[in-house]
Structure 1
Amino acid sequence: MATTVGGFVLWSTGNSDARAVQRQAALIDHAMRGYFTQQVANQESWTIWDETVAHTSVDFDPDWIDENLGTEFYDSYGYEQTAVLDGDDRPVSLMQDGHAVTPSFLEPDMVGIMPLVVRLRGEIAAGALRAYLGGARASMPSAQDYVVIAGTPAMVTVAPIADTATYPERPFLHVAIDFLDGDYARYVGESNLVDDAAFRTAASGDPESATLPLLNNAGRIIAFLEWRQDWPGKRLLSETAPVLGGALLLAGILIVILLDRLWRYSTELDAGRIRAEHQANHDPLTGLANRAGFEAQLALHAADERRSGYLALFMLDLDRFKQVNDTLGHPAGDQLIRCVGGRLANAVSGPGMIARLGGDEFAIIEPSLSGPAEAEALAHRLIEIIGQPFEIFGNEASVGVSIGIGLVGDASTSPVELVRRADIALYEAKAGGRNRAMVYDTGMDVAVHQRHSIEAELREALRSPDQVGVMFEPIIDAMTGETVGAQALPFWQHPQMGGVPRDLFVSVAEGCGLSEPLGERVLRAACRLGSNHPGRVISVGVSPAQIRSPKFFSRVFDILAETGMRPGNLEIEITERVLLGDPEGAGEVLRKFRAAGIRIALDDFGTGYSSLNFLKQYDVDHIRIDRAFAQDANEDRSTLAMVEAMVGLAHAMNITVTAKGIDTILQENRFAGIGCDRLQGAFVSRPVSIEAMEAILAGGTGTEARPDAA
């Protein structure tokens, strides 16, 4: 019996020791992969941001980079080295422990970093970044590996610097370097419940230590992580051996004790593994699932063939979050993200899952909804909940949320396809005015394909002087009929497609970063016309991207100087959409234009949610009443009464009023009769070439352009 008991004890202790090492190695390896994922997610919060693009590739600002990508980034995450590479992959900024150092210090280590840069450049060239920014790809393209930097092994990640409004062919890159030194080893040891953790470039061979080799992407060992091996079986055997040798009578009791101890040690290891997996799959800021946890759960739900009802994926993107970051600072932005996560958690119950994917993006998985109606009802409830003001460090902050919804009724749709559908629906929700929800339908695929096709053709067209031009729609005085100005409008005559609808290609330009070159072409043509006809006001529409550009204000005055047009004859035309994204920043730009003598007009007045409020908040010289009112006035006299009230309000505020869409003499008489100052539309004149507009302005009256003019 003693032999049997002794053999069983030795087998149990040896097996327990081996299992302990295997479990520790597995959970540490899993944790290291999770640290890479978190490092990329931390970069994404700073690199996919228009402010970062504006101060790097657009207008290089080393002071801004030092403060934000250096000091604040180091304070937030503690990475010892960060660098910014330009479009030619040269280091143009290097931070060491949060302080700027000479970028050339990195050049000896670029040989180890360049394979990551080359791999990321290849993904970007293949369209990965474009797909991510356009909503067709769920995760930001990046590159990561173990690299030896200055003789020390390190975790290196490379991420692109970009945003949805600016897409250079070779964007600047951000490099984050976290050295595998003693501090990092202590962090790994404490996180994974192991003692005496240390990184080494060569294995020590210590029989008391467990070793995990760290391999780079090429399969070469870069470093070894060693820690003091836990010997639960051996320790237990040393504690119990005297008792076993002295009293065979107690063998049965000792076996029970042994098994109990082994079970306790095994439980502790399992608990450590669970904690490590939780850290690898959850966002440290909100406690919600991170992208890795989200993707794992979505894969499980998508493959569930026993599911009853619809699997719904909600992709959420906060509106106006950037304004909170810019005005209250990143700590306030982080607190707002925590509060949003809390509200979402309270709003979604049952088997659903909430995840923070990075930055201000969230996702919700609902595995058993009854159909689109229930999904839309939940989305609208979330919009209402997030729309309530937040109390952030004593300040009130308000944001909105845009939601894209993908629905599937069976297990035949892959998780990647479901994410693609929800991302496309989110794009449509944001394009439609933000703070709204859209459910994916197959027609959106056609729209996405058409946008991509139009985008490629438009890029090529803007390189040619022949395809994209500018026409002018005359504007007349409602009382005298004199031509007092014109509205500049872009047109696109494609060699194969013919005339491309203006609304279509303008919206595509705004979505793919082409609105600035398109807008400058229109502005330049308008200023050339206006320079020849002082006293006539030429109106030019501007996009949100132009207003956000730090160079737009100076660029307008450069073109005015080049063409000789007076600032007082130029009218900057905006819609409410320009002000919705960043009302304070846009308002400041408009006030600077107005102070310099340039007129400000609000287009499509009366169609937005808060047109009257904008008149109170922003000084404008001119409003254009949307053409829909002219059409409705033919059938509904109450519409005319509404327009008359708008005109009275505008005149009380000393604002000029233009009625758009005047297509008949009846409409002209009606809108002139209720006090509109100016008129434009097909009855006045359809848009004409710059040569024809020159002739009209030289004549002075509006009848030259009318279709019924002799």
Structure 2
Amino acid sequence: MNAAPISRRSWLATADQTLQNLPGAVLILFCDGTVEYANGAARALFKTLDPIGSTLRSLFSLNGMVGGGEMLAAVAAGTSVSTRLPDGRVFDVSSRPLPDDKAVVTLMDVSRYVHDAERATRDALTGLFNRASFHQLLREKLVVAQRTGEALAVLCIDLDRFKSVNDTLGHPVGDGLLAKVGERLRSMSRETDFVARLGGDEFGILQTGGDQPLAAQAMATRLVDLIGRTYVVDGHMLNIGASVGIALAPGDSSNPEVLLKRADLALYKAKVDGRGTFRFFEGEMDARMQARRAMEINIRKAMALKELELVYQPQVHLETNAVVGFEALLRWNNAERGVVSPADFIPLAEEIGLIVPIGDWVLRTACHEAASWSQPVSIAVNLSPVQFRNAKLIESVVSALASSGLDPGRLELEITEGALLENTERVLSVLNALRAIGVRISMDDFGTGYSSLSYLQKFPFDKIKIDQSFVRGNTDDSNAIVRAVAGLGASLGIRTTAEGVETVEQLNRIRAQGCHEVQGYFTGRPMAATAAASLLNATSSH
């Protein structure tokens, strides 16, 4: 016996039940794009209005979805597109033709898969592209640029003073700050720009289109201004800055690795030039960087080959003309280059972190030498601002004193205002700990900074060293400054030393203005350790 034929109404009811149970949204469209049918998932998706009788374009636009126009073309072609909702959900939209010039459209939620894929290309903290995806995008855009002749720019960005935020307030605040920087970078970039966090506090922007180099210059100017504005993170008001390096394609290179390297070189130049600015790559930067790398290698070799040595410059008391101390000065005698000026290698040693082991060696050597002198005069050792960021500074000083047997009261540590500019409170706590050991503290190059007087209020320095520019400048203003500093020192109970005295006229002028001590070529050039010991032996025998 044959089964009874299924009626069209019964078939439609069965089909509707099946479609209603599907997890994906299903729409059936008339040929003009008007919705004839929507299952439960589709009604839930387009809950702001009834899908029936609406067009696909209006459904998409009224629900904040993109791609309505593209979907109409896809329906005609039988292809698929994707759309994203304002809440971040992503749907894969596909269509198939039906009889009577109709079409069935399905919307499958692929958010999980898309977001997983995006996480592989995105920085978790800022939501920007990560380093790997930035490099891939750069390679792709350079291929297109070579074909079209379009110029593009790579901007490398480094945050100024970010490390001090991490060090003083902790990584959670630092992470919050990085996230806010990411938001600002995103807000100022165009849809055609690609913004990435390259790691740590380094960011990159790939700028396509625009009239180069003017477009890159305009963006860099906005970057420096926007990132330099105050942030509020967890109740803390934070101020940082940005340095920017720019390289252009094809002018600087069409090779992605070379282009990034050259943007980094330009960034380094911006930092050297004072930070808070931008620089374009220039051809000679490569040569300078090669010379810098060679210098870095030579500094490391100098430590291993014991090419570094100390010389000692006398400090003379003006009333008695007696040597009351020496300042230990670092010298580098290179086999190929001869004597290398400290101005040529100390800044690089600070930048690459070698100043810490070099500083430890200077401290130990100076203390051991001074401990052997026939007279208990002081030994002054300069401390770099970088050494104050080293948690083991106090330990190094204690170790040098203990191993040499030097009386702590004979050791004088000289700091410049640069050591106090960042993390002032932390530096002051270190200075107080050193004073507690019995070590004396001097302010070097006094008068050349902006806040020297305020630091005298915050810490009881044992000595002020007046910068040589005031000593050598025989003008009414220079003389007034020396006289004022000498008077200030006398009123605060702080000794004053005038640096850079080279003539008898300068010596007489400094004596008349009330300074306690002098140091310079006129009263004694820097000398070897043996000569310093002999000088003291000679004066003690009189």
Distance 2:212 2:519 in 1: 47
Q: Which runs of 5+ in 1 are unaligned?
A: 1-190, 195-229, 241-250, 705-710
CA apart distance, 1:413? 3.5
Aligned to 2:139: 299
What letter matches 1:536 in structure 2? V
Q: Deviations over 1:489-531 (max 9, x none)?
A: 1112122222122222222322333223322221122112322
What letter matches 2:463 in structure 1? H
The answer to whether the Cα contact below 8 Å between 1:578 and 1:586 also exists between their aligned partners in 2 is yes
In 2 relative to 1, CA 551–415 (structure 1 residues): closer, same or farther, beyond 3 Å? same
The answer to whether the Cα contact below 8 Å between 2:384 and 2:415 also exists between their aligned partners in 1 is yes
Distance 1:447 1:610 in 2: 34
The answer to whether the Cα contact below 8 Å between 1:534 and 1:565 also exists between their aligned partners in 2 is no
Distance 1:479 1:380 in 2: 56
CA apart distance, 1:540? 0.7
1:679 to 509, 512, 518: 518
1:252 aligns with 2:87: no
1:453 aligns with 2:299: no
Aligned to 1:502: 342
Query: Considering only CA atoms, is the larger Rg found in Structure 1 or Structure 2?
Result: 2
Aligned to 1:604: 445
The answer to whether the Cα contact below 8 Å between 1:372 and 1:439 also exists between their aligned partners in 2 is no
What letter matches 1:671 in structure 2? I
Q: Secondary structure at the match of 1:463?
A: helix
Superposed, 1:12-23 pairs within 5 Å as none
CA apart distance, 1:377? 6.9
Aligned to 2:241: 400
Aligned to 2:508: 669
Aligned to 2:535: 696
What letter matches 1:694 in structure 2? A
In 2 relative to 1, CA 441–621 (structure 1 residues): closer, same or farther, beyond 3 Å? farther
1:588 aligns with 2:462: no
Distance 1:688 1:617 in 2: 35
Q: Which runs of 5+ in 2 are unaligned?
A: 1-87
The answer to whether the Cα contact below 8 Å between 2:501 and 2:518 also exists between their aligned partners in 1 is yes
Q: Secondary structure at the match of 1:521?
A: helix
The answer to whether the Cα contact below 8 Å between 2:89 and 2:109 also exists between their aligned partners in 1 is no
What letter matches 1:539 in structure 2? A
CA apart distance, 1:279? 3.7
What percentage of aligned pairs have identical amino acids? 37
Which protein has the bigger helix share? 1
The answer to whether the Cα contact below 8 Å between 2:122 and 2:128 also exists between their aligned partners in 1 is yes
2:378 to 530, 537, 559: 537
CA apart distance, 1:572? 1.3
Q: Secondary structure at the match of 1:499?
A: strand
In 2 relative to 1, CA 646–469 (structure 1 residues): closer, same or farther, beyond 3 Å? same
In 2 relative to 1, CA 331–673 (structure 1 residues): closer, same or farther, beyond 3 Å? same
CA apart distance, 1:488? 0.6
1:323 to 164, 176, 182: 164
Distance 2:223 2:116 in 1: 32
1:655 aligns with 2:501: no
Q: Secondary structure at the match of 2:324?
A: strand
Distance 2:90 2:408 in 1: 69
Q: Secondary structure at the match of 1:454?
A: helix
The answer to whether the Cα contact below 8 Å between 2:420 and 2:427 also exists between their aligned partners in 1 is yes
The answer to whether the Cα contact below 8 Å between 1:307 and 1:367 also exists between their aligned partners in 2 is no
Aligned to 1:563: 404
What letter matches 2:515 in structure 1? C
Distance 1:619 1:378 in 2: 46
Q: Deviations over 1:355-393 (max 9, x none)?
A: 222222222344467677886675465444434332222
Distance 2:494 2:483 in 1: 14
Distance 1:575 1:429 in 2: 23
Distance 2:433 2:300 in 1: 31
Q: Deviations over 1:554-581 (max 9, x none)?
A: 2221221221211111111222333445
Superposed, 1:286-685 pairs within 5 Å as 286-303=126-143, 304-305=145-146, 311-348=152-189, 351-367=192-208, 379=220, 382-407=223-248, 410=251, 412-431=253-272, 434-465=275-306, 467-531=307-371, 532=373, 535-631=376-472, 633-634=473-474, 636-685=475-524
Q: Paired residues, what number? A: 451
CA apart distance, 1:690? 0.7
The answer to whether the Cα contact below 8 Å between 1:307 and 1:368 also exists between their aligned partners in 2 is no
Report the RMSD for the aligned CA atoms in angstroms: 3.7
Higher relative contact order (CA 8 A, sep 6+): 1
Q: Deviations over 1:660-682 (max 9, x none)?
A: 22222333333333333322222
Q: Deviations over 1:64-109 (max 9, x none)?
A: xxxxxxxxxxxxxxxxxxxxxxxxxxxxxxxxxxxxxxxxxxxxxx
In 2 relative to 1, CA 396–415 (structure 1 residues): closer, same or farther, beyond 3 Å? same
Distance 2:223 2:134 in 1: 19
Aligned to 2:46: none
The answer to whether the Cα contact below 8 Å between 1:479 and 1:677 also exists between their aligned partners in 2 is yes
Distance 2:250 2:450 in 1: 36
The answer to whether the Cα contact below 8 Å between 1:406 and 1:419 also exists between their aligned partners in 2 is yes
In 2 relative to 1, CA 361–648 (structure 1 residues): closer, same or farther, beyond 3 Å? farther
CA apart distance, 1:427? 3.2
CA apart distance, 1:323? 3.3
The answer to whether the Cα contact below 8 Å between 1:315 and 1:403 also exists between their aligned partners in 2 is yes
Distance 1:351 1:613 in 2: 49
Distance 2:350 2:186 in 1: 34
Distance 1:600 1:543 in 2: 13
The answer to whether the Cα contact below 8 Å between 2:134 and 2:196 also exists between their aligned partners in 1 is yes
CA apart distance, 1:437? 4.2
In 2 relative to 1, CA 664–299 (structure 1 residues): closer, same or farther, beyond 3 Å? farther
Q: Deviations over 1:223-260 (max 9, x none)?
A: xxxxxxx9x99xx9xxx9xxxxxxxxxx732x632xx4
Distance 2:515 2:495 in 1: 8
The answer to whether the Cα contact below 8 Å between 2:471 and 2:482 also exists between their aligned partners in 1 is no
Distance 1:600 1:592 in 2: 11
CA apart distance, 1:533? 5.0
Distance 2:119 2:527 in 1: 64
Distance 2:230 2:492 in 1: 31
Q: Secondary structure at the match of 1:659?
A: strand
Instruction: After superposing the two structures, state which structure 1 stretch, 502-511 or 637-646, moved more.
Output: 637-646
Task: Output the TM-score relative to the length of structure 1.
Answer: 0.56
What letter matches 1:667 in structure 2? Q
Q: Deviations over 1:130-160 (max 9, x none)?
A: xxxxxxxxxxxxxxxxxxxxxxxxxxxxxxx
Aligned to 2:48: none
Q: Secondary structure at the match of 1:401?
A: strand
What letter matches 1:345 in structure 2? R
CA apart distance, 1:617? 3.6
Aligned to 1:46: none
Task: Output the TM-score relative to the length of structure 2.
Answer: 0.72
